[in-house]
Amino acid sequence: MSKDIVMETQNLVKKFGDGVTAVDDVSFKIEKGEVVGYLGPNGAGKTTTIKIMTNLIKPTAGHACINGIDVNRHPKEALKSVGSLIGVPGVYSYLTPTELLRYFGKLYGLPKQRIDERIKEVLNMVNLSDWKDSKVGTFSTGMERRLAIAKSIFHEPSILILDEPVLGLDPEGIKEMRELIKSFQEKDVTVFLSSHLLDEVSKVCDSVIFLYDGRVVEKDSVERIDEIMKQYRLIDVELLEDIRKSDLKDMKKIEMIDDVKKIDDSRIRVTKNDGDPGTTAEMLRKIVENGFDIVSYTPEKSDLEDFYVSLIEEKEGAR
């Protein structure tokens, strides 16, 4: 038995005055309790879609619905069960987390006792309890982002919409955000998050909607993402000297490398431990630091945009 559809877009289009079509006939459905990644390169139309779904901008055509209610026609009713984080977090540097959340609790019309209870609950959820009385202006980017999440969930929404939630965070901040998103899933909260990071989306999402040039290319399971990621983890490296068995053992000890296989006398195939093309240079630097001279290297897949284009070509070829 299928779950209830809680988020849906129908033939969504957004054209701007300069003739740019940012969103082009986008349709998808999201079930209750799903964690869905909205994945695409920068400029694909992810943020525009989210702004339409949260009534920040109007669509040129089509509909966006929350719990079956049209966001454009009945925004207050449609969005009452939604929390969102879009763009730079809206926090106030001169306030403390307690003061900020109490202010928003009053805006939501909650009674004082429930506001006080909820402040403790959400600050605990985002690991900011120890900083409840510190000025927000002293916070790191990651702490500000977590506080913005606390503000977004203060009214206990059943749906959470996050636009690039890990953007600008350091590795520790990304890990904390990942765990936070997983905790929402355990509470059966539906999470819709946009990202351009394939590797990161695969770690928190049940399924992924691929967006390219304003169009939905494909919606698939996270298992499919894992298969895709493998293509971005394999790199052929040519070394200056012939490779010995002991060299392979030494190279496997290098951080960021999962496996190394010999192709011929001087070439190896390295398996990275992540699918992010941006970390390839760092991995190659570590190989050189460990005494290996590199002549050349060839990523099996070097650009995520190539993947999106190949998906489009597959779709068009099947017509």
Two tokens, residue 121: 């609950």
Question: What ranges do the domains of the chain cover?
Answer: 5-228, 233-300
Query: pLDDT tier at 215 (50, 70, 90 boundaries)?
Result: very high
Least confident piece of the model among 108-122, 180-194, 233-247: 233-247
Least confident piece of the model among 32-41, 47-56, 157-166, 190-199: 190-199
Given this model, what pLDDT does residue 233 score? 74
Q: Long-range CB contacts (< 8 A, 24+ apart) of 18-26?
A: 21/214, 22/48, 22/214, 23/48, 23/49, 23/52, 23/59, 23/214, 24/213, 24/214, 24/215, 25/62, 25/215, 26/62, 26/211, 26/214, 26/215, 26/216
Distance CA 304, CA 233 (A): 12
Tell me which of 278 and 50 has the higher pLDDT. Answer: 50
Distance CA 56, CA 129 (A): 31
Given this model, what pLDDT does residue 203 score? 84
Tell me which of 196 and 133 has the higher pLDDT. Answer: 133
Q: H or E segment at 73?
A: none
Given this model, what pLDDT does residue 283 score? 87
Sheet holding 207-212, edge to edge: 82-85, 159-163, 190-195, 35-39, 207-212, 215-221
Q: H or E segment at 240?
A: none
Per the prediction, the chain carries an average pLDDT of 87
Distance CA 27, CA 52 (A): 13
Q: Is the pLDDT of residue 319 over 60?
A: no
Two tokens, residue 286: 């570590």
37-64 average pLDDT score: 94
**Residue 147 to residues 6, 55, 92, 119, 152: CA-CA distances in angstroms?**
26, 23, 10, 11, 9
Least confident piece of the model among 10-14, 17-21, 315-319: 315-319
Q: Does residue 161 sit in helix, strand or coil?
A: strand
CATH architecture of 5-228: 3-Layer(aba) Sandwich (3.40)
End-to-end CA distance of the chain: 31
Two tokens, residue 113: 């006792």
According to DSSP, the β-strands at 82-85 and 159-163 are: parallel
Given this model, what pLDDT does residue 231 score? 66
Instruction: Tell me yes or no: is domain 233-300 CATH 3.30.70.1560.
Output: yes
Q: Tell me, yes or no, if the two domains 5-228 and 233-300 fold the same way.
A: no
Give tens-digit pLDDT for 216-227.
988 888 777 667
